[in-house]
Structure 1
């Protein structure tokens, strides 16, 4: 599905990001740049996949991002897919949430997406095509107790995505922008939750269980590929029916 495509995936070291990188690799992408601040966690890529390159990158570092994108332009002349997956959580009730935790989540989850997309989109527009898939969440569409900062960022990336879908194509470029909104998924972010929380969330999910990272990666793959060539400005919920 991704033959000859040059792809970037942020937050590529673990969880949904790692699964997306590996899915892209097995689906024939020419090159996948797996970006993360934890380079050690991506050390196995080079031994397992010839088409994955691990890159240490902070999505809050605009200078590093632009140097990285310029390098790709020089080496490959194009970028076909950007997956904005990097994200953090710093959960707390509103009256207990520190300004530091607010700022960190906003900087990574919202501004980081802005930084990456602002750097990559001109390359796509110049080439006349591309797909940008940004990780939102059902928390961004429906909110959640104790996640004011996270919900704000995940709602924000949906609004940015809808704006980009209109903006990037206005002169005829086939540059698409979409979001994926996962529900309750087995990832490193959820593995330490108390069993009672997991049981409660599973009971609220019509399909009766947590999703897997592979479920999300397959949705990202579809939106990234040419099979979704007439889809832009949309939010694909992959949540087992949690939010209907």
Structure 2
């Protein structure tokens, strides 16, 4: 399996189907708005309270802290859910594009709606598994995330149930470890470049925020396209020797 060939094919799909990036962009905008509403409205309840004021009125301090924590938790849950749904929608649109079908927002939404239950179940299971792994010195969580990287793709592309998709992801990574590891390194490299670009862009007043969301949407959208193509090319019956040259 040629990783460079897959990368070029992914670039071609990205250039020819700009609508694929819309779901992740909308998710970024939605998350920003939700953050302003929930977190922004809760934090001021604690802002400006001195130590003496907190000691004099602990009930108000606890209420403010609870509101802030609740707002942040609700923000995380809503943003995470929207992010998973838009990621899955992007997976469906990328799969359609690679199959020669028209990757429209309407078709992408219809694809994810038909798989909404296994997507949600798989997402919850992944969160629990990776979360437990992160508790144990972080490294186990990273390793588990690596082996679970194709789970949602398997749910949408292969129409598998949540538990089957988790098993498929582990099997895919295990039987194609070399190719998957190179794919993982490429994604890390793209993430570093995106982070540096976003840091530079963030220095631009006002416009920097908008540009950062666009850059993030392009990054996450392309990574999804790339992962879908890698998954499609994986030989599940034997190890695939990766080729990085053209």
| Fold similarity call, TM over 0.5 | no
The structure in which a higher percent of residues are strand is: 1
Query: Which has the bigger relative contact order, CA under 8 A and spacing at least 6?
Result: 2
Which structure has the bigger radius of gyration? Answer: 2
TM-score by length of 1: 0.30
